[in-house]
Chains A and B, each alone.
Chain A
Amino acid sequence: MQGSSFRRSSIAGLPAGSGSALPALLLVGLFFIVPVVALLLRSVTDPEPGLQNYAALFGSGTYVRVFLNTFLVASVVTAVTIVVAFPVAWMLAIMPPALGSIVFGIIILSMWTNLLTRTYAWMVLLQRTGVINRALMALGIIHEPLPLINNLAGVTIGMVYIMLPFMILPLVGTLRAIDPMTLRAAALCGASPFEAFRRILLPLSLPGIAAGGLMVFVMSLGYFVTPALLGGTSNMMLAEMIAQTVQSLLNWGLGSAAAFVLLVVTMALYAIQLRLVGASRAGGGI
């Protein structure tokens, strides 16, 4: 029985054991593919058949602006996340395993805390009358509260914090696979620490950076809660705009079109990354 199913899979060109992926495929098919098709249909049929929703979308200065802003915010968040995550990942990679797993645990722990709770916590910290501004003013470092919330700064801080684990995890995998001897060899050849980082460590860690970066970027594109609570309306992101279109304007057609465009852009980005980094590495060291 086992043998025959193995043969059948081989004939179909599928690797052995593909059958056990069936539940996952069904789940994805039922709860992702079907809704996406419904979304697409809605965008070209609601309120009447045609492409008028897409015309309205690209013809509206508001949506174009929100689209551009969404990409701006996602780019800033991704860049900052990479810069902040890299030293942490490197530290984790070279730490003694026992200590490393404790630090790892702390990072993972933050992912287990409710997203909304964490975002509200940032509100308390960042607002004008918040902990950070009060402390800085009490210390005499600033005299006016810093504008840390309801703007791009607030969104960036809140989202980088949430995205960090998604960057650190793939990066640690890549960094651990780098032979530390390469850095020692660089030093022996006279490279300064910075040069060793720039010419050895950074190029070798690129697959991890690319994998983590893409994940952070794509997750940021569709983010709702954090930008809605920590951002201002002039940094509105697409997810919130879609929610408004549907909830307030009752325009499901336009909302669906916007969601579909975002999905297509996201998939295109993933395809580009697959091509650049190679399919086998796109998953990084996760």
Chain B
Amino acid sequence: MKLILTGLLAGLLAATAAKADEMAFTSWGGTTQEAQTKSWAAPFEASSGIKVLQDGPTDYGKLKAMVDAGNVTWDVVDVEMDFAIKAAKDGLLEPIDYAVVPKADLDPRFSNEHAVGSFYYSFVLAWNKGAVPGEPTGWADMFDTKKFPGKRTFYKWSAPGVIEIALLADGVPADKLYPLDLDRAFKKLDTIKSDIVWWGGGAESQQLIASGEAAFGQLWNGRVFALQQDGTDVGVAWNQNLTAADVLVVPKGAKNKGSAMKFLAAATSPTGQAKFAEASGYAPINTKAKAEMPADAVKALPDAHVDGQINLDMNYWAEHRDEIATRWYAWQTK
């Protein structure tokens, strides 16, 4: 379904994207892409006169197919950082033109030759206050079905996060997480497997927690932020929050590469990053952005919770992506 939809959309875009004053931006939909549209695309359209067409959701299979077929209709794509590292190695990405994109103020953790940071986020433990008695304080509580009964929700796809959570809950110290002990992680996950409800996308995670369908779960901090903005009674534990990043990439052979680089410059500028961070609750990757944000918006960011914060190792994941995914889906379908 997703494939068909994106296929149709991409087909429609293909008919129009070749025009010089247009480019296509692809992201994950929902509240995140809305914030990107508002904070990056709209001001960029006004200042440059280049129309930014929105497409989505991001689909790695689609991206590879476009590059392989030599018919690339996406110009800038928001992807997970571990994918970007792997995709660059596989020759799927254009190098970033740092003559156009100012590099000086970008957080070096999230930008490299083929990718420039989009935002960074934390996986946090969130819960529906009406469905959970007491306050969970760390990932171990999600594996304690006696103390905290109810369904728990985790990210469905093979990606940095859940494996690390299981290991942390099993007592592995944060600095000993890598290389990941998959056997140990799956054994730990087995203990709560029948209580897990998987979420496949951000909106689904919000729906599961807000309705109480899942009492608690591992959520992207921005999605929890959006729930709280809506007045939903959700608790959040920042202890052991796990950071990961999204980056912006330009697929190899993108038709509007010049416009794409200009868009990247705008999106990663202090103002673009500040506006997006304020709207989404995700952290800026431009070190000058926070100076342009209201003080209370800064408090909602993962940066405000560096105590007990753990950085997911994107390079490790990029290297072991396929191997972990094979184990992950084998375990999940068992």
A: residues with CB less than 8 A from B are 60-62, 65-66, 69, 116, 127-129, 150, 224-225, 228, 232-234, 236, 241, 243-244, 246-250, 252, 255
Beta-carbon contact of A248 and B332 below 8 Å: no
Give the distance to chain B from A187, nearest Cβ to Cβ, in Å.
Answer: 50
Beta-carbon contact of A128 and B151 below 8 Å: yes
Number of interface residues of B (CB under 8 A): 29
Closest A residue to B214 by beta carbon equals A128
Q: Which 5 pairs show the lowest CB-CB distances between chains A and B?
A: A246-B61, A247-B61, A62-B330, A233-B332, A236-B333
In the bound assembly, the distance between CA atoms of A247 and B90 in angstroms comes to 15
- Please name 9 further chain A to chain B contacts, defined as beta carbons within 8 Å, in addition to the given A232-B197, A247-B2, A247-B62, sorted by A numbering: A62-B330, A127-B213, A129-B213, A234-B333, A248-B325, A249-B322, A250-B60, A250-B90, A252-B68
Give the distance to chain A from B133, nearest Cβ to Cβ, in Å.
Answer: 16
B111 at interface, CB cutoff 8 A: no
B59 at interface, CB cutoff 8 A: yes
Closest A residue to B159 by beta carbon equals A248
In the bound assembly, the distance between CA atoms of A234 and B331 in angstroms comes to 9
In the bound assembly, the distance between CA atoms of A129 and B208 in angstroms comes to 10
Beta-carbon contact of B158 and A248 below 8 Å: yes
Q: Which residues in window 1-52 of B have CB below 8 A to A?
A: 1-3
Interface of chain A: mostly helix, strand, loop or mixed: helix
Which residues of A sit under 8 angstroms from B3, Cβ to Cβ?
A: 243, 246-247
Closest A residue to B64 by beta carbon equals A250
Interface string of B51-85 (1 = CB under 8 A from A): 00000000111101100100000000000000000
Beta-carbon contact of B1 and A127 below 8 Å: no
Given A127-B211, A128-B213, verify A62-B333 contact (CB < 8 Å).
yes
Interface string of B163-198 (1 = CB under 8 A from A): 000000000000000000000000000000000011
Beta-carbon contact of B330 and A252 below 8 Å: no
Of the residues A127, A129, A243, A252, contact of B64 by C-beta under 8 Å: A252
Give the distance to chain B from A145, nearest Cβ to Cβ, in Å.
Answer: 10
Which residues of A sit under 8 angstroms from B62, Cβ to Cβ?
A: 247
Give the distance to chain A from B213, nearest Cβ to Cβ, in Å.
Answer: 5
Give the distance to chain B from A155, nearest Cβ to Cβ, in Å.
Answer: 14
Give the distance to chain B from A15, nearest Cβ to Cβ, in Å.
Answer: 35
Given A233-B156, A247-B59, verify A61-B330 contact (CB < 8 Å).
yes
Interface string of B297-334 (1 = CB under 8 A from A): 00000000000000000000000001001100110111
Beta-carbon contact of B60 and A247 below 8 Å: yes
B212 at interface, CB cutoff 8 A: yes
B148 at interface, CB cutoff 8 A: no
Closest B residue to A128 by beta carbon equals B213
Given A236-B333, A241-B329, A241-B333, verify A248-B213 contact (CB < 8 Å).
no
